[in-house]
């Protein structure tokens, strides 16, 4: 059984100097939400150098396209990353979704400007702040996110400092 190891994935991303912003369920949990999530979601800066760093960071965990039959000729290398944008991956440390763009964002730098720097597990990383996390969820417009948006809004009421 593959264990979900967001800590290991985050540490590898940081050690490889990947430029990324933590979003999604793990970001929400980090901010205080009590809700399970089964994958790590990040937005990465789309530069040639960062695509290489991202490929390097995930290589030890053998990333593969999620829900695709095994044995397809897929390699998550710098060229693959640069030629694509968003990837939903399964790895030996759990599932990770890497996005170059998500609904509700304008640029990567805009997400960084709406993030806080967290020092966790020996890393310093950007975690999207609550307001922007809510914006992204609303922009995605998925009925399945309604409950999570409600929880995020209540979290905002409980802790306006976020």
Judged by beta carbon, residue 109 or residue 159, the one nearer other proteins is 159
Cα 31-33-39 angle, rounded to 5 deg: 90
Using CB under 8 A as the binding rule, whether residue 144 contacts other proteins is answered as no
**Of how many residues is the chain composed?**
162
Q: Which regions of the chain does DSSP assign to beta strands (E)?
A: 20-23, 39-44, 64-65, 87-91, 94-99, 115-120, 123-128
Among the listed residues 14, 16, 29, 112, the single contact to other proteins using CB under 8 A: 29
Of 13-21, 25-33, 44-52, 79-87: span binding other proteins (CB under 8 A): 25-33
Among the listed residues 106, 124, 158, 160, the single contact to other proteins using CB under 8 A: 158
DSSP 92: B
Judged by beta carbon, residue 14 or residue 29, the one nearer other proteins is 29
Residues 95 and 105: their CA atoms lie apart, in Å, by: 23
Among the listed residues 47, 121, 131, 139, the single contact to other proteins using CB under 8 A: 121
Of 3-11, 42-50, 52-60, 75-83: span binding other proteins (CB under 8 A): 3-11
2 and 90 in contact (C-beta within 8 Å)? yes
Dihedral angle over CA of 53, 59, 64, 65, nearest 10: -10
Among the listed residues 38, 117, 144, 160, the single contact to other proteins using CB under 8 A: 38
Residues 13 and 53: their CA atoms lie apart, in Å, by: 8
Q: Which of residues 46-105 bind other proteins (CB under 8 A)?
A: none
For other proteins, the binding residues (CB under 8 A) are: 1, 3-7, 10, 26, 29-34, 36-38, 118, 120-121, 127, 138, 141, 146-147, 149-151, 153-155, 158-159
């Amino acid at each position: 059984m593959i264990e979900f190891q967001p800590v290991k994935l985050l540490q590898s991303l940081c050690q490889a100097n990947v430029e990324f912003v933590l979003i999604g369920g793990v970001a929400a949990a980090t901010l205080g939400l009590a809700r399970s999530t089964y994958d790590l979601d990040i937005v990465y800066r789309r530069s040639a150098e960062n695509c290489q760093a991202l490929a390097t960071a995930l290589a030890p965990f053998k990333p593969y396209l999620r829900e695709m039959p095994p044995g397809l000729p897929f390699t998550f290398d710098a060229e693959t990353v640069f030629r694509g944008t968003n990837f939903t991956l399964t790895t030996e440390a759990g599932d990770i979704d890497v996005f170059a763009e998500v609904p509700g964002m304008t640029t990567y730098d805009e997400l960084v400007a709406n993030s806080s720097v967290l020092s966790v597990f020996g890393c310093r990383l950007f975690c999207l702040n609550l307001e922007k996390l809510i914006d992204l969820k609303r922009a995605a417009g998925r009925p399945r996110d309604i409950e999570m948006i409600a929880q995020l809004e209540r979290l905002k009421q409980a802790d306006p400092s976020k």
